[in-house]
A and B are shown apart, each in its own frame.
Chain A
Amino acid sequence: MKKKNIIEMFVEGARKGWSIAINGLMPNVILAFALIKILEVTGAMAFIGDVFAPVMGVFGLPGQAIMVSVTALMSQGGAVGVLASLLTDGGVDAKQATILLPAIFASGGQLQNLGRVLGTSGVQTKYYGLIFGMSIINGIIALTVMSFVVKAL
């Protein structure tokens, strides 16, 4: 097999990037934006905002931000999509987005990872609760740390 030069390496990776962006990112973003639109026109978003304002307020976030956390349980891509959508229509500002972003990656996608990580690795089921719980705790820690970081800016 021929050894690849650096240009071929880059192009190969960039091609993979195209496929990730178009096949992975875009469908998630379209779903998130349509979902947020539904929540907005039905008035559900305002309701969610009121109900969860006290909880999310602890981290300096508006109630609507709970949508990012809930979506994150299912999919990291969906959650960042929801965050981007909230940014677009002013539901969260740049400060709040900065608080939310690390938490999405610290604890996002757990529901699909039950199969993809816990199932595939074959780890014993008695550890599932511990492992799952720690990822939620990590998300909360990430929100807490970032809320202090943003305050100090």
Chain B
Amino acid sequence: MNMEEKQKQEVQKEDDKGRFSLAGIITLLLAVVIFSGLMASGKGWSTAFDFVTLSGKFGTMKDATTATFMGAGGSGARAGFLLALSLVPGVMLAMGIVSIVEQTGGLKVAQKLLTPLLRPLMGLPGNVSLALISSLQSTDAGAGMTKDLFDEGLITEKERAIFVQFQFTGCAVINNYLTLGSMVFANILVPISVPLVLVLVLKFFAANVTRFVINKFYTEEA
């Protein structure tokens, strides 16, 4: 009831203002132009404001022996749609495999193996290994667990900064790379593990630069 009244009041306030927002006017005008089809017969830049142009076209079967359902020569939203559709099987397969590794305890093994390495590799205590493994899969899970570790006094302020650096660059790289990266996997010239390994190495590199800079130039107290 209270909420409702508040909302009503707010709506009233908006009405009282009686003004139009500039962004609203512009987007409305643009939408009218785009959907009107007025620009369809235009040439050059004006066709950017035509719905049919933006929708683009599906590719066609130019060479039946090599063509997939995406065809060749497509463009715009339609080509994007078919590309996204072509990725679905790969993403489902990858996530299915990751799910098995996760649920059979494969990640726990990785975590155990990682624990003794954390101090020499990044100057972090072994108890961050679970958060570290999680952060490779989910940006939000990793960041949340890091806050918990600090709040429980398991890591210091400096260690948190080093660990956050590790997460910030190449965030959730395993899941992001396997899903988003699949858009161009068919086109790249190196094994798909190469970019992934490079990003992981860079994560450790960034963490160590931060470790060095913090120890050298920052004082512990805020």
Contact = CB atoms under 8 A, between A and B. Distances in A.
Contact of A116 (B140, B187, B199): B140
B170 interface: yes
The interface size bin for chain A is 35 or more
A6 B100 CA distance: 7
Interface in A1-25: 4, 6, 9-18, 20-22, 24-25
A55 interface: no
B25 interface: no
A28 B91 CA distance: 15
A106 B199 CA distance: 5
A29 B206 contact: no
A80 B183 contact: yes
A134 B212 CA distance: 12
A109 B143 CA distance: 15
Given A21-B179, A29-B84, A9 B168 contact: no
A43 B45 contact: yes
Given A6-B104, A10-B99, A17-B95, A126 B218 contact: yes
Nearest to A11: B96
Given A21-B88, A101-B195, A135-B206, A77 B180 contact: yes
B104 A29 contact: no
A24 B75 CA distance: 20
B167 interface: yes
Contact of A94 (B102, B147, B187): B187
Contact of A117 (B45, B94, B103, B139): B139
Interface string B151-178: 0000001001101110111110100110
Interface of A: 4, 6, 9-18, 20-22, 24-26, 28-30, 32-34, 37-38, 41-43, 76-77, 80-81, 83-85, 87-89, 94-95, 97-98, 101-102, 105-107, 109-110, 113, 116-124, 126-127, 130-132, 134-135, 137-138, 141-142, 145-146, 149-150, 153
